[in-house]
Amino acid sequence: MKLALSVRVAEAACKTRLHLPLEALIDVAVANGYDALCMRASCGGVQTPETELQRQANLIQDAGLKVSMVTADFDVPLNNQDGPNSLLDIRPSLDVAQTFGCSLIRICMKNESDVTHAASAVRIAHEQGIRLAHQCHTSSLFEQVNPMLEVVSQIDHPAFGIIYEPANLMLNGESYLADTLERLRPHLMNVYVQNHRLDPVGPESLPTYCRGDVRFHHMELWEDGGVDFAGVFAGLTQVNYDGFFTIHQAQGIETAGDLSRYASDCAQFFQRMTQL
């Protein structure tokens, strides 16, 4: 597996801007052995001038990093009702991905009516050598394993797949270990990780289609009591996953020192787990 750092770790709660410049993320990624950055519109997206996107792409390339995936507009990570709108015209998102030399774009589908638009967008993306993927995510068509595989079957295209995210599967009451990874294996295009602990009186809450509001605690990746990461890594090994493993935990980091410490801790966690 290859290790990627999502710019989300330094993203403001609004998900539309970063607390730190891209240069800081590049520096800590290189210093801690990351292979790639996962880019989001909070840093560079469809709203960003092409000259700035190209500048960012040059910085990343010059540092010897890849871009593992792009989330090209604000509404996809916000997972709001406008999240699927990029499917109506995927070309601006494709332009962002091409500038970053990236072949994977994250999309959003909220309702059954979005599937037809996604199928059209996938065909257009495929013509340019780019794939589209949907994250296992609350309040979307990809909350539960059976429904998400049904959507994949409906779209039925090799350029469309799934971003495996165990914490969201756990929030939705789904298995997220080897049994699920075996089912997702033919469609697995990326791995996102964050850590939650379920608690009916927890301080955090997310709405779901399948379970109503679900309460939980945010945790560090390496803390026990949340996602069973030993099981996650065992499952990824079992299905021979060799793509990007993306640190996607929302941290709201505002200083370069905190970013450096967090990126280092996550990289060490990754190395420990891959050696089990």
The 10s digit of each residue's pLDDT in 109-164 is 999 999 999 999 999 999 999 999 999 999 999 999 999 999 999 999 999 999 99
What average pLDDT does the segment 212-222 reach?
Answer: 97
Q: Are 246 and 6 in contact (CB under 8 A)?
A: yes
Instruction: State the pLDDT at residue 198.
Output: 98
Instruction: State the pLDDT at residue 15.
Output: 97
Residue 276 reports pLDDT greater than 90: no
Instruction: State the pLDDT at residue 195.
Output: 98
Residue 83 reports pLDDT greater than 90: yes
Residue 165 reports pLDDT greater than 90: yes
Q: Of 78, 97, 84, 94, nearest to 39 (Cα)?
A: 97
Q: What is the pLDDT of residues 187-209, one digit of tens each?
A: 999 999 999 999 999 999 999 99
Confidence of residue 107 (pLDDT cuts 50, 70, 90): very high
Residue 224 reports pLDDT greater than 90: yes
What average pLDDT does the segment 169-181 reach?
Answer: 98
The three-state secondary structure class of 220 is coil
The rounded mean pLDDT for the chain is 98
Distance CA 229, CA 270 (A): 10
Q: Are 18 and 48 in contact (CB under 8 A)?
A: no
In angstroms, the first-to-last Cα distance of the chain is 14
DSSP 94-126: HHHHHHTT--EEEE---STTHHHHHHHHHHHHH
> Does the reported pTM lie above 0.85?
yes
What average pLDDT does the segment 224-245 reach?
Answer: 98
Residue 47 CB neighbours (<10 A): 12
Q: Are 75 and 83 in contact (CB under 8 A)?
A: yes
Adjacency order of strands within the sheet including 195-198: 195-198, 212-219, 204-208
What average pLDDT does the segment 77-89 reach?
Answer: 98
Instruction: State the pLDDT at residue 41.
Output: 98
Residue 112 CB neighbours (<10 A): 11
All domains in the chain, ordered by first residue = 2-274 (3.20.20.150)
Cβ-proximal residues to 211 (8 Å cutoff; 6+ apart), any chain: 171, 172, 173
